[in-house]
C-alpha cells in the first residue's frame, strides 16, 4: 500500500476520533440550558466533560497538522477556500475553552450565565459548521486548475451541505444526551435518557437522508457498507438507551458517528477535495508531500500514537464514575476542569 493511501487512512482515523469524542462534548454544551434547571445541575453537566474536553480537542490539532504535513496542497486549498467557516469554528472553540476556564472564577450569577452562553454557542457553531464543511469536501467545490477555490461563502451553504450540518448537530445532541445519562445520576440521568431517545429518532431520520444522498451521489461499495452499519448501530444504541442500558447506548452512538465519518472518507477516496468544474480537483497523489516526508511522519506516528492513546484511555478510566448534584458543593469555587 502506498504511503499516500496510508496517510489518507490515518487522517480519516484522526477525524473519526475527533468527532466521536468531541461530539459528545458539543452535545453536552448544546444541552446545557435544556437538561440543567439550576446552577448546581449546570455544574454537574460541565463536570462530566471537564476532565476530558481539552484532550478530545487534541485529535483536531493532530488531524490539522497531519493534513498540513502529508497533503500540503489539500491543506492550502481547504483553508483558503473555507477560511470564513473555519475561522468561525476556531473562534467558537476558543470562546468555549475560555468558558470552561473562567466560569468558576467569580461567585456572580451574571458572570456565570455569560460564560454558560459562551459554552452553549461555542458548542452549537462547530457542531453545525463541521457538518457543512465536510459535506462540501465530499460533494466537491469549484476549484480551478491552480487548485484555488473560486467560489464564495454562500456556495458552501447549498442544500446538501446544510443537510450535513443538521446531521452533525442532531447526532452530537443525541451522543451528548446519551453520554450525560451514562455519566450522571438522579433526575438529570432520567431527563437525559428520555431526551436521547427522542433526539435519536430525529437524528436517525436526518442521518439516513444525508448518507443516502451521499451514497447516490459519490458513494462506493465500501461507503455503502459503512453507512449501513452506521444506521444499524445508531438504531441499536437508541434501543439500548431506551431500555436503560446507557453503556451500550453510548457505544451505539459512538460507532454510528465513527462509521458515518469513515463512510464519508471512503466515498471521497481517492480524491481529497474534488472540483465541480471538471478539473483542478485534488487527489491523494497530486496533493501529497514528498515520499521522504511521509516516511519520517510514519516513524513519528508509530512511536507517539500509542503513547497518546494510552494516556487518553487512562484519563477516561480515572474519571469513569457517575456525577450527581450531591457531589457538587454549595460554594462555586469548584474547578470545572
Torsion from C-alpha of 316, 321, 327, 331, nearest 10 degrees: 0
Per residue, the 3-state secondary structure of 276-290, as one string, reads CCCCCCEECCCCCCC
pLDDT one-digit tens code per residue, 290-310: 999 999 999 999 998 888 889
Residues in CB range of 293: below 8 A, 6 or more apart: 69, 70
Arithmetic mean of pLDDT over the chain? 92
pLDDT one-digit tens code per residue, 222-247: 999 999 999 999 999 999 999 999 99
- Per domain, the residue ranges of the chain are 3-139+148-327
pLDDT one-digit tens code per residue, 24-33: 999 999 999 9
- Least Cα distance to 212 among 199, 223, 198 occurs for 223
pLDDT one-digit tens code per residue, 72-102: 999 999 998 899 999 999 999 999 999 999 9
Question: For domain 3-139+148-327, which CATH number applies: 1.20.58, 1.20.1630, 1.10.3470, 1.20.1380?
Answer: 1.20.1630
**Interatomic CA distance for residues 276 and 274, integer angstroms:** 7
- For residue 337, pLDDT beyond 90: no
Amino acid at each position: 500500500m502506498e504511503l499516500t493511501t496510508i496517510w489518507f487512512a490515518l487522517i480519516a482515523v484522526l477525524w473519526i476520533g475527533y468527532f466521536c469524542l468531541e461530539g459528545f462534548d458539543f452535545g453536552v454544551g448544546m444541552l446545557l440550558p435544556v437538561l440543567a434547571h439550576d446552577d448546581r445541575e449546570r455544574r454537574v453537566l460541565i463536570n462530566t466533560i471537564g476532565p476530558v474536553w481539552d484532550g478530545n480537542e487534541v485529535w483536531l490539532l493532530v488531524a490539522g497538522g497531519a493534513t498540513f504535513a502529508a497533503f500540503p496542497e489539500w491543506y492550502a486549498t481547504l483553508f483558503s477556500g473555507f477560511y470564513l467557516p473555519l475561522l468561525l469554528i476556531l473562534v467558537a472553540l476558543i470562546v468555549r475553552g475560555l468558558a470552561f476556564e473562567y466560569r468558576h472564577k467569580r461567585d456572580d450569577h451574571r458572570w456565570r450565565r455569560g460564560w454558560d452562553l459562551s459554552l452553549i454557542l461555542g458548542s452549537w457553531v462547530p457542531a453545525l459548521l463541521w457538518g457543512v464543511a465536510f459535506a462540501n469536501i465530499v460533494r466537491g467545490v469549484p476549484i480551478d486548475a491552480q487548485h484555488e477555490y473560486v467560489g464564495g461563502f454562500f456556495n458552501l451553504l447549498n442544500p446538501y451541505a446544510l443537510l450535513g450540518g443538521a446531521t452533525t448537530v442532531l447526532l452530537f445532541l443525541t451522543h451528548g444526551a446519551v453520554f450525560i445519562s451514562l455519566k450522571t445520576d438522579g433526575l438529570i440521568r432520567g431527563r437525559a435518557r428520555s431526551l436521547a431517545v427522542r433526539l435519536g429518532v430525529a437524528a436517525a431520520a436526518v442521518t439516513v437522508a444525508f448518507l443516502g444522498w451521499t451514497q447516490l451521489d459519490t458513494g462506493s461499495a465500501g461507503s455503502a457498507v459503512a453507512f449501513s452499519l452506521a444506521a444499524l448501530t445508531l438504531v441499536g444504541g437508541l434501543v439500548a438507551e431506551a431500555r436503560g442500558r446507557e453503556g451500550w447506548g453510548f457505544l451505539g452512538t459512538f460507532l454510528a458517528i465513527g462509521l458515518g465519518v469513515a463512510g464519508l472518507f471512503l466515498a471521497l477516496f481517492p480524491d481529497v477535495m474534488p472540483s465541480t468544474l471538471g478539473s483542478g480537483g485534488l487527489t491523494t497523489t497530486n496533493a501529497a508531500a514528498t515520499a521522504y516526508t511521509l516516511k519520517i511522519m510514519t516513524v513519528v506516528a508509530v512511536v507517539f500514537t500509542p503513547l497518546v492513546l494510552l494516556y487518553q484511555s487512562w484519563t477516561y478510566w480515572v474519571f469513569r464514575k457517575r456525577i450527581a448534584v450531591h457531589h457538587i458543593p454549595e460554594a462555586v469555587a469548584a474547578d470545572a476542569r
